[in-house]
């Protein structure tokens, strides 16, 4: 049962990075991809239908963290107030800007700033957990999300906007491919270095694969590349283990709930993509 909950927390967190990552990446790039207002409207329109649905993965992961990992939740919140303040502020600003940007271009700056705060915030937290330099993690996560967002737009947007997005994504692949191995080498607190190295190699292969592929194949590569840093951090910092979990009796009560909620999350995500498959 303990292994089930560890896998569940990791899967939900990885799913959030794989999907919400292209939302933040799109926001970071949309002023570069869209050269005029009609193009920028199409860029945001490609991402907007998925934005709130992708955040559901984070909500589910936080629910699992609070319910099944109370000690870990306490350690994270008590030791990283500044990081979580930046992330939550960025999420609120980003989500509000996505909804309101259609009414005014004045929301462009909050949209970009919110996405940047979220990306840097997650990098900052990963740096604290792994012992690697915070600037490296912050810049790496921003670049990784930008690659993911550009790959998504290259797949979903026709014409010059899509071509421009693809060129931006490909130009960032090599810096991103250098980021993960550097993080692994500089993680002084790594307790399972072999797992971290395997994850880092997989991320590099996926990023290089996205540069050679196109369409949904390239998008799948960057989605997995955004998801894999989650187990890399778990392995490097050893933050998730049995000692941080709730009592077995609590997990026994929570397990049926998870077995109901998780399929609903997956169904909701599938429905969102199916309705906007074109």
Q: What is the pLDDT of residue 188?
A: 58
CATH topology assigned to domain 2-268: Formate dehydrogenase/DMSO reductase fold (1.20.1630)
Q: What is the pLDDT of residue 5?
A: 85
Q: What is the pLDDT of residue 192?
A: 67
Q: What is the pLDDT of residue 32?
A: 93
Q: What is the pLDDT of residue 191?
A: 64
- Give me the average pLDDT of each 10-residue run along the chain (278 residues): 82 92 94 89 90 86 85 78 92 92 84 96 89 87 95 92 93 88 70 75 92 92 92 72 74 84 84 84
Domain range annotation of the chain: 2-268
CB-CB contact of 33 with 39 (8 Å): yes
Q: What is the pLDDT of residue 240?
A: 67
């Amino acid at each position: 049962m303990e292994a089930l909950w560890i896998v569940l927390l990791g899967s939900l967190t990885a799913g959030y990075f794989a999907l919400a990552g292209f939302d933040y990446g799109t926001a970071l790039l949309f002023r570069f991809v869209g050269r005029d207002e009609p193009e920028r409207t199409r860029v945001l329109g490609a991402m907007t239908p998925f934005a709130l649905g992708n955040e559901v993965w984070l909500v589910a992961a936080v629910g699992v963290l609070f319910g099944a990992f109370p000690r870990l939740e306490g350690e994270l919140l008590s030791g990283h107030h500044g990081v979580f303040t930046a992330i939550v502020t960025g999420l609120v600003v980003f989500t509000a800007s996505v909804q309101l940007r259609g009414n005014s271009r004045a929301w462009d700056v909050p949209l970009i700033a919110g996405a940047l705060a979220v990306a840097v915030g997650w990098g900052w937290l990963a740096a604290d957990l792994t012992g690697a330099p915070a600037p490296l993690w912050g810049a790496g996560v921003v670049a990784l999300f930008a690659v993911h967002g550009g790959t998504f737009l290259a797949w979903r947007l026709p014409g010059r906007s899509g071509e421009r997005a693809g060129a931006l994504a490909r130009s960032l692949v090599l810096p991103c491919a250098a980021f993960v191995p550097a993080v692994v080498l500089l993680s002084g607190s790594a307790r399972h270095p072999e797992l971290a190295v395997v994850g880092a190699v997989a991320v590099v292969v996926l990023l290089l694969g996205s540069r050679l592929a196109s369409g949904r194949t390239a998008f799948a590569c960057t989605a997995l590349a955004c998801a894999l840093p989650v187990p890399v951090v778990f392995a490097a910092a050893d933050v998730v283990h049995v000692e941080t979990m709730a009592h077995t009796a609590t997990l026994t009560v929570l397990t049926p709930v998870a077995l109901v909620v998780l399929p609903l999350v997956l169904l909701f995500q599938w429905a969102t993509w199916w309705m906007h498959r074109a």
